[in-house]
Amino acid sequence: MSDKAAKKAEKSINNSSKPVLGLATGKTFTGFYKKLVEKHNKKKISFSNITTFNLDEYVGLPSDHPESFHYYMENNLFKDVKIPNQNYHIPNGTAGNLKKECEEYEIKIKNAGGINTQFLGIGENGHIGYNEPGSPHDSRTRVVKLTEETQKNKKEYFESRKVPEKAITMGIGTILEADQIFLLASGEEKAEAVKKTVEGPITKDIPSSALQKHDNCTLIIDEEASTYLPKT
Ligand code: PGA
């Protein structure tokens, strides 16, 4: 799965003179970033000309907190590849003015020319980024409240067992503006959400179902995550 996704990233990077990637975090993506670092080390891809935008960040976590997505990206990718500081973007969850931070994030994406290739994970409840059920499909980058289910699912990663209640996330509308989208899902715990993404009605209750409206969205999933999809 990671290999396939990394090949898609390689193609996207090498097919454009100014590639703009939308990046995700979480356990689903650690293998993907390992592959990207390998490709960088083998000089198959260069990060010198890439711009990246991460989907989300917890509100209130400093960038050196081990569960912040700043820390995740530094640890899993940025420390190993030569990406100029000004070329990567992650929402700042400790900004004094969060509303302004969100508005400026949208402007930065626009000024970069929009996202060419967006990578997404998925939550068990169908969240994409941190767009929880009920998120409008035309939503933009904003502060959101995490559901109790999401906080419970993420608890094991936090030493304090205290998961932040809020996050900044790109909106579903922001995500849908990417030229192409790859959603990765691994494990049976994602199978129900995968089925609803692909086969369910398009509804605010399942944020990922909005992806059916996109004409260039591909799911890269493992056997377990495909449990409830018809086998051909
Ligand atoms: P995971 O997170 O990759 O850690 O399962 C995905 C998500 O919650 O969107």
Closest-CA residue, ligand 1 atom 4, reads 26
In ligand 1, which atom is closest to the CA atom of 187?
A: 5
- What pLDDT does residue 191 have? 98
Length of the chain measured in residues: 232
Kindly name the residue from 54, 127, 131, 137 that is annotated as catalytic: 127
pTM confidence score = 0.97
Per CATH, domain 2-27+42-186+211-220 is 3.40.50.720: no
Let me know if 215 is a catalytic residue.
no
Domain map (residue ranges) of the chain: 2-27+42-186+211-220
Kindly name the residue from 70, 131, 132, 137 that is annotated as catalytic: 132
- What pLDDT does residue 220 have? 98
pLDDT values of the chain reduced to their tens digit, one per residue, 232 residues? 999 999 999 999 999 999 999 999 999 999 999 999 999 999 999 999 999 999 999 999 999 999 999 999 999 999 999 899 999 999 999 999 999 999 999 999 999 999 999 999 999 999 999 999 999 999 999 999 999 999 999 999 999 989 999 999 999 999 999 999 999 999 999 999 999 999 999 999 999 999 999 999 999 999 999 999 998 7
Let me know if 179 is a catalytic residue.
no
The amino acid that residue 107 corresponds to is I
Let me know if 177 is a catalytic residue.
no
Locus of tokens 């960040």: 57
Q: How far is CA 14 from CA 8, 116, 137, 160, in A?
A: 10, 12, 31, 42
- What pLDDT does residue 232 have? 74
- Strand, coil or helix: 135: coil
- What pLDDT does residue 231 have? 83
Structure tokens at 117: 């290739």
- What pLDDT does residue 142 have? 98
Locus of tokens 């995968």: 194
Q: How far is CA 117 from CA 6, 179, 202, 215, 231, in A?
A: 12, 6, 22, 13, 28
Compute the distance from residue 17 Cα to the ligand 1 centre, in Å. Answer: 31
